[in-house]
Structure 1
Amino acid sequence: MKTILWATLTGNGNYAQSSSNHPPKEEALGDFAAHARKAGNFIVGRRTFEGMQASGSGGDFAEMDIVVVSGSVKEIPGVTVVGSPSDALSYLRDKGYPTALISGGADLHNAFLSQGLVDELIFNIAPVLEGKGLNLLIDTEKYQYKEVELLNFKSLGSGVVQVHYAIDHTI
């Protein structure tokens, strides 16, 4: 199964922090929805999922398999809850999906990356700079430097640029 990590980052590389004063760009949200529809699923952390529910965007994905990774919550109505990234992938693999979309948040992304469970990265770079925010991390015990291959790049509009990379697992 191919795993794709999808994220929106700032121009200086932090996770884009959205709020009511600084909502996410519609182009990035539309791109996520398109990737989720294509995959038929997405994996999300509990706090990010709760944020989606609070914003009302959870209903946009009612026909999809949503897998929430949580160490503390065991059940959420309408979604599958698992305890680890590997459990999430096993669930989707058993359902026959060829692709899993990993959608957020930062802790979940870093868990997948540190375990070597990501094949491709899709980053939407928002036209903002932020002095706060979280970063993507890789396992510094295994990797000091990790090669990626550029698969594609494009403008999504409103200054949002998307880059799509494949991770080289041979190194």
Structure 2
Amino acid sequence: MKVILLAAISVDGKIAQSREQNSTDWTSKEDVRFFVEKSKEIGALIMGETTYQTIGRPLKDRTIYVLTKNPDSQVSKKGIVFTGGLLQDVLKQVEKDGFSSVLIAGGASVYSQFLKEGLVNELFLTVEPYLFGQGIPLLTDCPFFSLEFVSVKPLNQQTLLLHYRIPSV
């Protein structure tokens, strides 16, 4: 299973100014377009409960696996699967559902958990032209990783899309 971390960040490495902020409040339309295209191409996304709450609905042509501490207290519906437990088991569930790749779509603790467990193969980071100062960092607790540069692509005159691989995975 290929695991791809996908995030939009400010120049100072923040994914949001607060837990309530939706990334589409501050990211470019080109970043949103990339997210839609990549997530439809892959078909499966894993995100934490807080990130899901900022979206609050199923996404057309995609399945969202929402990581929660109490999956049995939530009602799954078409396109939304509430799940929990070991990340390896969640990935097995995604694979069992017919997906060969999955996007990790936030938030910071979910990104960090997947990286800490050595489960991420690639990263796509959209860098937007903002300095938040205060806010939520991309990673909350993560070991050192050496990344292999794949590409950089301007999405517009001010926004860059960085693509990296993690060689050891």
What is the TM-score of this pair, normalised by structure 1?
0.84
Correspondent of 1:38 among 41, 47, 52: 41
Aligned partners of 2:160, 2:75: CA distance in 1, in Å? 34
Any residues of structure 2 matched to 1:44-83 within 5 Å, and which? 44-53=47-56, 58-59=57-58, 61-74=59-72, 75-78=74-77, 79-83=80-84
In the comparison of the two structures, how many residue pairs are matched?
160
1:123-142 → structure 2 map (5 Å cutoff): 123-135=125-137, 136-137=139-140, 139-140=142-143
Q: CA deviation at 1:46?
A: 0.7
1:137 Cα deviation after fit = 4.5
* TM-score of the pair, normalised by structure 2: 0.85
CA separation in 1, counterparts of 2:66 and 2:46? 6
Which consecutive residues of structure 2, in runs of 5 or more, have no partner in the other structure?
Answer: none
The CA RMSD over aligned residues, in Å, is: 2.0
Deviation at 1:31, TM superposition (A): 0.9
Confirm or deny that 1:110 pairs with 2:108.
no
Deviations 1:105-141 (A, max 9, x none): 111111111111111010000100011122215544x
Q: Which residue of 2 aligns with 1:98?
A: 100
Identify unmatched segments of 5+ residues in structure 1. none
Runs of 4+ in 1 over 4 A off after TM superposition: none
What amino acid is aligned across from residue 167 of structure 1 in structure 2? I
Residue identity in the other structure for 1:108: V
